[in-house]
Each structure stands twice: as C-alpha cells, then as structure tokens.
Structure 1
Amino acid sequence: MKTFVAGILAAASVFSITPAFADAFQGPYVGVQAGWNHDRVRGADTDIGDLDVRDSRDSFIGGAFAGYNYKITPNVVIGAEGGFNLGADDAMRSGAAVVDPNYAFDLSARAGYLVTPKTMLYVRGGYENMRARVSDGIAQGHETFDGWSVGGGVERAVLDNVTARIEYRYSDLGSNGNGFDRHQALVGVAYHF
C-alpha cells in the first residue's frame, strides 16, 4: 500500500510542475516574413553605365530573418537582426533599360518597448543591400545597390516561443544623384529559443 501511495504522489508531483516558458523577447530567434513591396527607380548608376529607368513596381516579397533580443529593463528591449528577401515580378523598365531585383539582405538594430508583457512596439534602422540584373537593351550585367533602411512595427507573443509581427520599412538605395526608394509592409512569424 505504501508503494502505491508513493507512486500516486510521485505521478501527481510530475503533473503539477509548471514548466518554465522562454521569454519571447529575450534571446535568439529565427523567422519567416512576407508582404507587399514597392520599388521606385529614378535613374540607376551601374557598371554598364547610367540607366534612364524611371518606373515603379508593386510586388510580393518573402524571406527569412534571424536575430537576438536583449532586455535592458523589464520593458525595454534592444537587439540586432539580419534578413534575406526575394521578390516576385518586380522588374522595372523604361524602354529597353531594365532594373530587375534578384534578392536583398539587411542588417539592422532594433529597439522596442513592451506595452504589455506579450506586446512590443519597436523601431529599427540599418544597412540594406540589393542585387539586381541590369540591362540597357544591348549590354547586361548585375549591380549591387547599397543603402540604409528605417522602420517600425508591433510584435506579439502568440504562443510560448512564437511571436507574430506587422512591420513597415523604408529603404533608400539611390546613389550619385539617382533615386531608388523601397517601401515594404511585412507580416512575420518567429520562433524564439
């Protein structure tokens, strides 16, 4: 009888233990994102020469990201994040001149404020690099467009280790008097370790 009671008490103690859940806004994470992308080009300085592309294009964009959050106070979070994105049907043209983005990556710092234990408002800023196929109708090649980006959003813990977010970003990829602006509205889901 003592063994039976001891077994029941042991089983009850196992089921009564509350697991320690990870803090979604502390530590490393990986995720995926997708959304709307709007590129606007007003000339492009490339290795094959200046392209007089003056066009804009709305497209779908998707990709992945990874980062690290660190709580400096119970409500203030800072971190770093890197992302990689691909667009679909995003080529911009003027006559025979073409700028066709292949992929982009970004590195940025984030700073956020927890308005509730599960909801963070944040801003971000950093570096963006976009690789594109370029052509003037005769010669073609690839060009790298470097620039900066800023943005912000809201992120919410939806499960113990999973967050969802909505974000807006603006990027300036122009150079030498040419304009290349990028606007993005993204939704993402991240898994926190």
Structure 2
Amino acid sequence: MKTLFAGSLAIVAALACAPASAEVFDGPYLGGQVGWNHDKIGRANTDIGTVEIRDSRDSFVGGVFAGYNHKVAPKVVLGVEGGFAIGADDAVRRGPSSIDPSYTFDVSARAGYLVTDQTLLYVRGGYENSRAKIRTSGIDGTIRDRDNFDGWSVGGGVERSLTDKVSARLEYRYADLGGSGETFDRHKVLVGVAYNF
C-alpha cells in the first residue's frame, strides 16, 4: 500500500507539470478513481447483534463519482459530489466474526481555492454509507446477514486541470461509520480523473 501511495504522489506531481488550456472548475463533471482503503472496526451493533472485531484491514478500492462545481468568486469554487465505490478483499475478520463491505456510496459538499487557474485545493464534508455482509456465531451456530453502516466523512485534496475538459486529483478522506459505543473508522487515499462537461 505504501507503493500505491508513493505512486499516486508521483502521478499527481507529473500531471501538475502538464499544461492546461482553460479552467474547468465550473459546471458538471463525471469521473473515476482508485486507491487505498483502511478500515478499523472495534465493536459494531448490527441487525444480528453486537459483533466484536477489534481488527483492521487494508484494501484496494475503486469507484465512480459525479458532481457540480460553481465558481462563486475569482478564486473560490463551491460544489456538491456523489460517489459509488467497491473494495477488493476488504473483509475485516476476527475469529468467527467478520464484516465484509459490499459497496459504499457518499454525498458531500466541496469548497475549494484556486491557487492557479488550473490548480484547485479543496476540502470536503458529507455523508457516507457502506453496505456490508455480517457473520458471527451464536448459540444456534453461524449467523449471517447484511447491514448498513453510515456516518460523516471529511477530506481534502488537490485537483489539476490537464485540458479544457479533463482534470486529475489526489485526495485523502476519513469517515466515521460507527454509532454510539461503536468503532468503525475508514481512511482512504484516492487518485481520480474527471471529465468536465
């Protein structure tokens, strides 16, 4: 995973040197992203009871996103974005119990500052929901079900326009998907490319 992160930084550094013909941070966009995901789960209250995991898992994640940017001032961009992602080999296990995320969707607001006409530094905050398969053991043997984990997320990153239609980004996100007395923390480092309409 360290190699993926280092590679992501190298890609974005190289893209930052590429010329761009016009700004793209105003209007609708659609894109895809890949990266590293780290889930840390302690105690989780589910539809089949309390599941004790107390472990973490690193995995690969990929997905798509769509949003809308609006330039409200010469250097300020505000927007909204929604995304959908799927992880690979991302089940967090401890003994007979496991939580295996199937997919995740999120909705967030973004606020950015144009440090140049082609480079946007931004922060985000919003809602994230992860659908997961649950497995645990009880007096009747192994119990399986599905449940939703949701909560708030925050993050930030840098996005660079490469052409008048295409931009690339590097981003970090944190999400808290645990409720009261629960622990389900998620960290992501993502590299994405967007087409701006």
TM-score bin, normalised by smaller chain: 0.7 to 0.9
Cα offset for 1:23? 3.8
Which residue of the partner structure matches residue 50 of structure 2? 50
CA RMSD of aligned residues (A): 1.0
TM-score, normalised by the number of residues in structure 1: 0.88
Deviation, structure 1 residue 22: 6.6
Task: Write the mapping of 1:148-187 to structure 2, written as runs, cut at 5 A.
Answer: 148-187=152-191
* Deviation for aligned residue 1:43: 1.1
Alignment TM-score, normalising by the size of structure 2: 0.86
The one-letter code sitting in structure 1 at the alignment partner of 2:154 is: V
State the alpha-carbon separation in 2 of the partners of residues 89 and 55 from structure 1: 15
Q: How many residues align?
A: 173
Cα pair 1:171 1:181 within 8 Å, conserved: yes
The CA distance in 2 between the partners of 1:90 and 1:43, in whole Å, is 17
Aligned residue type for 1:167:
E
Partner Cα distance (2:172, 2:22) in 1: 27
Q: Is the contact made by 2:128 and 2:175 (CA closer than 8 Å) also made in structure 1? A: yes
Unaligned runs of 5+ in 1: 1-20
In the alignment, the residues of structure 2 paired with residue 132 and residue 150 of structure 1 have an alpha-carbon distance, to the nearest angstrom, of 21
Residue in structure 1 matched with residue 108 of structure 2 by the alignment? 108
User: Which structure's CA Rg is the greater one?
Assistant: 1
- Structure 1 segments of 4+ aligned residues over 2 angstroms from their partners: none
Alignment of structure 1 residues 64-83 onto 2, 5 Å: 64-83=64-83
Matches within 5 A, 1:127-166: 127-137=127-137, 138-166=142-170
Structure 2 gap ranges (5+): 1-20
